[in-house]
Amino acid sequence: MMLKNANFKDLNQAEITKAMKDVLSESELKIDDMTANVVIQRYMTIRQELLGQANKAKGEEFLEKNKLNDSVQVSGSGLQYKIIIPGSELKPSAQDTVSVYYRGTLIDGTEFDSSMGNAEPVKFPVNAVIPGWSEGIQMIGEGGKIRLYIPSELAYGAQQAGPVIQPNSTLIFDVDLVKIDKAKVEEAPKSK
């Protein structure tokens, strides 16, 4: 299934099939293992770079159009967001832990993760998630809801993240902030 989702349509399938048959039948191979590994690694690197470039362009085009929406705001970092419900005055800081329900999608609507159907919200330290998510969640208070449009550089950048999030993907998150657990401030030791 993973190979099917990888979309290797640019490879010569007849040659791949022949190579697999040669390996399985222990026939003499056209190239040695070391050369094959170098070729495969180079192919995968180039493929990821091209995929990342295409995703970056699609994401930039999406964000350019999206920021024209009157209800969408843009932060100094380039994060786009829409506050649906502002929530209470109590907002999280980067050191806090939040309990949330969330749904993450690609710009084409493909869902890659969701906790919306869970009985209990998910807990995250605010400073332990992708930068765009961390920045955005701090804009609302308890009971708030926000939609985040996260440019790739505030998400996973050029890295693939799991089977669905490709290099340089722009991500969309709907986040419901249920509860904030404020970080405990440690008191400085008292001098004698």
Question: Which residues are part of the catalytic machinery?
Answer: 102, 112-113, 130, 156, 173
- Which helix (H) or strand (E) segment holds residue 22: the answer is helix 13-24
For 120, the 3-state DSSP assignment is: coil
Q: How far apart are CA 18 and CA 28, in angstroms?
A: 12
Q: Residue count of the chain, please give it.
A: 192
Q: What angle do CA 132, 138, 141 make, to 5 degrees?
A: 140
Nearest Cα to 115, choosing from 94, 133, 96? 133
Instruction: Note whether 86 and 140 are within 8 A (CB).
Output: yes
Q: How far apart are CA 162 and CA 25, in angstroms?
A: 34
